[in-house]
Structures are given as C-alpha cells and as structure tokens.
Amino acid sequence: MIRHSTILVLAVVILVACKETKEKESSTVEQDKVQVTFDKKLLNGVWAENQEDNALFYIENDSIYYMDSQDKPYSLEFGGSYFSVHYDDYTSKAELLKLTEDSLVYNSTNTIRLCRRTDEVKESKVETQKTVPVDNIKKCDIEKVAVLKKQLPNASKESIVSFLSTISVDCKNNAEFGQFSNEVLFEVLQAKPLEVLMITGKEDVERDEIYKMLESPVNDAINLRELIDSINKLELQSVEKSEFLKALKKALKKYN
C-alpha cells in the first residue's frame, strides 16, 4: 500500500513538472513572438544603398518621402514585422527583417539592404540630387546604357531613369544601340523589377517602345518564365505591370 502511494506521489510530481515545462516553453515562444516586432521610430531618417549613392527615401513617423517627389508623402502602416506603403493607386507590402540605428533590411520581392545616411539631415526634406530632366537626355545614348550595365545588379534610380529615357522610336535604325539596350533592359528588369515598373509609370519615357523591346528579347538565355513569375509576385496593381506581363507573355509565346 505504501509502495502504491509512493508511485502515485511520483506520478503527480512528474505531471506537475511536465506542466511547468510546457508552460515555460509556451512562455518562451510568446517572448520570441514579441521579439519579432520592431521599434518603428528607428525607421526615421534618410536611407540609401550605401554612403556614396544618392538617398532613396526619407521616413518621418508614418510617412515616407521619395527623393524624386519629396513634397508628396505616402502613408506607412505597420503590423508586427510587416509594413505597407499606400500609394495613389496601389499598396505595397514588405516584411521587415532587420532594423537598427544604422541598417534596414526588408523583403518585398527580394531582399533590400539599406544603410542610414549619416551625412544628411531632414532640415528641409533632405537635399538630394534630382532626377535628370528627360529633355537633357540624348535619345539612343549608348553611354547611358553602358553606365547602367556597370552598376547592375545594384543600379541607382537615376541611372535607370536615364537609361529608360534614351529608348525611343528614333533609335529603330541604330542597330548597335538597339541590341545593347535590349539586353540591358532585361537585365535591369531581372535585378530591379519594382523600380523599373514604377519609373516607367511615373517618368516621361516612351512606354510603347519599351514594351516592344520586351516582346523581342535578343538574348535567348533570358528565362522569360522566371521573369514573368517575379513580376506576377509584385504586390503592385498598375497599368505598367499589366503591360509588362502582356509583352513578356508575347515574347514567351514567340520564342519558347
């Protein structure tokens, strides 16, 4: 009888110990979940790909200012480790992977790594180099294509704008420019699909010529299916996205 009582006591002790262990494990999991959240105040400031390149945007509380349109803020919304940017006609969502005093890492369609600019402050919405006016860009300028080619896969927005602005119907008889710009167009679209689509939609470029290029890739090594898939995954609803996909699907049907 004593032996049975002893066994019963041991069983109760084990059950209690197991329960406490589970509660501790559950508590640890909950703590881990809490650690996923970030202090959004750390986002305030000027962000760029490195200390040498032009700044990409400035964040102040729940607003983000892009360097090409500093007078028009877009709304930021936070939820745990995710944040959304509400543009005029669509919303983009990204996952925040790392946020410190000096670095920002987030994932949209690919992983973006930025650093805080230490040489700029927000006194007047941050003075940065403005986008080059299209009127000052020479059409069919093969040097602009070469500049962008050298920067890939980390091309600056200014170089992408300059490159896309050189593409023109006036270049149809320039075989050298046509072939080189066609190759680089697909390369920059693979490296920075969201940036290319947004620039095409906002800047004064010859969109129809860009779409025609996408319908006829000169490099048969381009993986059109993979490119279409990456653009499909963009959390973006716009005319440009539809037109890019339409052109690439024409190319896929034509060459695959």
pLDDT > 60? residue 30:
no
Instruction: Measure the CA–CA gap between 179 and 236, rounded to whole angstroms.
Output: 29
pLDDT > 50? residue 128:
no
pLDDT > 50? residue 18:
no
pLDDT > 50? residue 26:
no
Tell me, yes or no, if the pTM score tops 0.75: no
Q: What are phi and psi of 56, to 5 degrees?
A: -95, -45
Q: What is the mean pLDDT of residues 119-128?
A: 40
Quick one: CA dihedral 40, 46, 49, 51, positive or negative?
negative
Q: What are phi and psi of 251, to 5 degrees?
A: -65, -40
pLDDT at 118: 65
**Tens-place pLDDT, residues 76-106:** 888 878 888 888 878 888 888 888 888 888 8
Q: What are the residues facing 94 on neighbouring strands?
A: 83
Three-class SS state of 16: helix
- Name the CA radius of gyration of the chain, rounded: 26
**Tens-place pLDDT, residues 155-212:** 888 899 999 999 999 998 999 999 999 999 999 999 999 889 989 988 889 999 999 9
Mean pLDDT of the chain: 77
Token reading at 217: 């890739």
In sequence order, what E strands does the chain have?
Answer: 45-48, 57-60, 63-66, 74-79, 82-86, 91-99, 103-107, 111-116
